[in-house]
Structure 1
Amino acid sequence: MYLPAQTIASFFLILNEPDHPPRYNIAPTQPVLAVFQSPAGRRGVPMRWGLIPHWARDIKIGAKLANARSETLHEKPSFRTAFNRRRCLIPADGFYEWVAVKGRKQPYFIRRRDGNPLAFAGLWEVWVAADQSELVSCTIVTTAANREMTPVHHRMPVILEPGQFDRWLDPDNQNPRSLCDLMRPMRDGGLVLQAVDDYVNRTGNEGPRCIEPAATFPTPSSPPEPPAQMNLFED
């Protein structure tokens, strides 16, 4: 997330201007900006990416729960409570996915065609440690891939439109099955995929170079082979 705080606050109609440093390469267990509905209105706060259920004994479980399949949210113990009561939006400029190309991992940066921020459907949870300190974490909800995403992955994040934000965030709606119509693939034609420099393949690398277009790799046009390593939105 590298867009200015004012842009994020305006697009998501949040009360505060989030204080987040520009980031181009965020990995699970690191902080991400998340938007939730407070009694006073929407607020944007940092949350650890990778949901830690309230009943977990160890926060390490969060690294395995960076994503949550929309089809099974209502039945999985890790996500069921959060789905009922604690839904959020996770803003993003774009996201990466990788495809094996001639023995190497080629990254692609995926963004909205209209230039607006992406709004991932998310869930959040509060975990209380033995010393009573609290850790707030979140996960990104996924669905089947749309036409643009199919060449690089069979899954994609659930991407919500501004007119859908209120329904998703409403904490008074504790019948989440009524939200199933929101958890569908984004309309075809709404995303752009760009092959980018493999500099982003190292999680410690940061900065605009992460999204610089690659000179030698075109946009994929056929479904990828099953990945040998878990991709970002693998379930």
Structure 2
Amino acid sequence: MIGHRHGILPFTSFFEWVERKGKKTQIQFIPEGGSLMWAPILWDYWTSPGKEVGYFSCTLITDDPAPEVEAAGHDRSPIFLDADYVEAWLDAESGSAEGWQEFLKGHRETVAYRHSLAA
């Protein structure tokens, strides 16, 4: 789907499950400064073999965890794009799969997070 069906999800925070004292706990990660974050996604439309059921689905693109996320106990983080590159990401047909992988490596926003237990 890379190079064909790109989307974007705006975030003000995100949640991850971590293990604390032998129990699964949900933690909320909020960017320092409270800025809006732009997460690149890939989307598709699935239809059952008989075409009686169909729905849109998407996947959030993740990578190795930000230091704060790793320290809290989770093994990956969403990728967030610098706001200046959102339109370029949404113009999916303009590049190759390899080019888009390089794009995602080169245009990420560096975000520092604070976190708290989710209510």
TM range (shorter): 0.7 to 0.9
Instruction: Flag the structure with higher strand content.
Output: 2
Q: Aligned equivalents of 1:159 and 1:143: distance in 2?
A: 10
- TM-aligned CA deviation for residue 126 of structure 1: 1.5
Aligned length: 115
Identify the match of residue 173 of structure 1 among 80, 91, 94: 94
Where does residue 60 of structure 2 map in the other structure?
Answer: 140
Asked whether 1:120 is paired with 2:39, we answer yes
Structure 2 residues not aligned, in runs of 5+: none
Asked whether 1:159 is paired with 2:80, we answer yes
For each residue in 1:150-185, what CA deviation from the matched residue of structure 2 results, as whole angstroms up to 9, or x when unmatched?
Answer: 212221111112111122111322412112234346
- TM-aligned CA deviation for residue 92 of structure 1: 2.2
Asked whether 1:96 is paired with 2:18, we answer no
Q: Which has the larger radius of gyration?
A: 1
What is the percent sequence identity of the aligned residues? 22
Q: Is the 8 A contact 1:83 1:176 kept in 2?
A: yes
- TM-aligned CA deviation for residue 132 of structure 1: 6.2
Structure 1 residue ranges, 4+ long, deviating more than 3 angstroms after superposition? 131-134
The one of the two structures with greater contact order (alpha-carbon pairs below 8 A, sep at least 6) is 2
Identify the match of residue 149 of structure 1 among 69, 75, 78: 69
Q: Aligned equivalents of 2:33 and 2:40: distance in 1?
A: 19
Where does residue 105 of structure 1 map in the other structure?
Answer: 24
Q: Which amino acid aligns with 1:142?
A: T
RMSD between superposed Cα atoms in Å: 2.2
Name the SS of the counterpart of 2:2 in structure 1.
Answer: helix
Taking structure 1 as the reference length, the TM-score comes to: 0.43
Asked whether 1:193 is paired with 2:114, we answer yes
Name the SS of the counterpart of 2:33 in structure 1.
Answer: coil
Structure 1 residues not aligned, in runs of 5+: 1-81, 198-209, 211-235
